[in-house]
Amino acid sequence: MKKFAIPLIYRSNLISRIKKIREMSDPRKKDYSPTLLDFGPVDFLIARHFGFCYGVENAIEISYRAIEENTGKRIFLLSEMIHNPEVNGDLLDRGVRFICDTKGNQIIGWNELEKNDIVIIPAFGTTVEIQRKLDEIGITTLKYDTTCPFVEKVWNRAASLGKNGFTVIVHGKHKHEETRATFSHSKEDAPTVIVRNIDEAAILGKCILGEISVDEFMEFFKNRISPDFNPSVHLDKVGVVNQTTMLATETEAIAEYLRNIMILKYGAGKIKEHFADTRDTLCYATHDNQRATVSLLGQNADIAVVVGGYNSSNTSHIVELCEEVLPTYFISGSDKITDYGSIRHYNFHNSTERETKDFIPVKDKVRIILTSGASCPDAVVEEVLKKLLGLFKGTRAINEVADEYERNK
């Protein structure tokens, strides 16, 4: 796989070293078991896969190259490069300006841009409408388009589905940048509707089977369907694609549910005429991270600490998996952990941050699960590990533990 030129500020001594050891011993990524690091009074169970994925590293490399190659020019990002405060903050510090916020609200007007400006397309991609605006201004974005290749794969499959007469069902959060972009591209070629979860997919199923009215469907999915969408016509042939950061298992469940609905209505013998198999569009990195998290949760641990941006969809899904099993703390960085043993952590269900005191269990040997989202730098994860280590007395040195792990691997 391609290696990217990532700024050293995002690398780390311990975490990057552990990843390299795992990569060398398991190049085909068949082993999802976690890494166990024994520091004496505390063990860390570190996920096999976490942190920067291919798409994120590609986006970071292109963004920093854009800065290096355009000294003296105005450089803009359509919105946050990725959902990580460290990365976005550093880009802002280097003079990059955001045109929109993550919800699509305008920060800088289109009339303020000039054709000689540099505009970077973020990893989520952008909508057809925004791309047309940039084209009208005369801004060329091809050189600094960081759209994730796996997002583009989803767009291409949606276009293919449309050309073959299928309606596209997008599994995603309709306000998320990636889903907005995917919806925009998909509706160019196909009737398109966005569903958030299996419950919303069930509304589609009821409409397909005639159990709810067209009016009920239109009211429920308003603002999440393409123009001129007609459920009486457009739900006889469907295919499912997803926002790549959603839970892969949930996308698969939605697809399987709709497949069974089509079998129920049209019969198993005609399923290929009414349901498209799109399993190969699932993002491998999201799948790997989620499978690694499930493997983590098979271990005996006391708490889980998940690191990442609070608006990161893939990180929130990792938190969701962890909190079903054990106490889980979702933090953006080491500054959320105090020296006196409390932690400020984020509840993504209600978008609030709260403080929990004495979150470390009192016992002779504590086991902590540690992982992060796909947009979180290794350096941030290592800072969190060090801050957690500082809450224990008599811990072994990091280099000693790393050397021991490498010898035994």
What CATH number does residue 41 fall under? 3.40.1010.20
Residue 381 near residue 12 (C-beta atoms within 8 A) = yes
* Residue 280 binned pLDDT confidence (cut-offs 50, 70, 90): confident
Whether 1 is covered by a domain: the verdict is no
Q: Give the range of the structural domain holding residue 335, as residue numbers without chain letter.
A: 8-53+285-408
- Please indicate, yes or no, whether residues 343 and 380 belong to a single structural domain of this protein: yes
Considering 92, 126, 144, which residue would you say is the last residue of a domain?
144
pLDDT reported for residue 299: 94
The average confidence (pLDDT) of the chain is 95
271 and 354 in a common domain: no
Residue positions annotated with a catalytic role: 178
Please check whether residues 290 and 380 belong to one and the same domain: yes
Number of domains in the chain: 3
Does the pLDDT at position 335 exceed 80?
yes
The pLDDT of 76-95, averaged and rounded, is: 92
Out of 74, 109, 144, a domain closes at 144
What's the chain's Rg over C-alpha atoms? Answer: 23
The pLDDT of residue 5: 86
What was the pLDDT predicted at 264?
A: 97
Q: Tell me: do 105 and 157 sit in the same domain.
A: no
Residues 259 and 295 in one domain: no
105 and 160 share a domain?
no
**Domain stops at, among 226, 254, 281:** 281
Nearest to 180 by CA among 160, 156, 151: 151
Looking at the fold, whether 63 and 123 belong to one and the same domain comes out as: yes
Judgement on whether residues 154 and 256 belong to the same structural domain of the protein: yes
The pTM of this model reads 0.90
> Which pLDDT value is given to residue 1?
61
Report how far residue 336's alpha carbon sits from residue 346's, in angstroms, rounded to the nearest whole number: 10
Band of the pLDDT at 4, cuts 50, 70, 90? confident
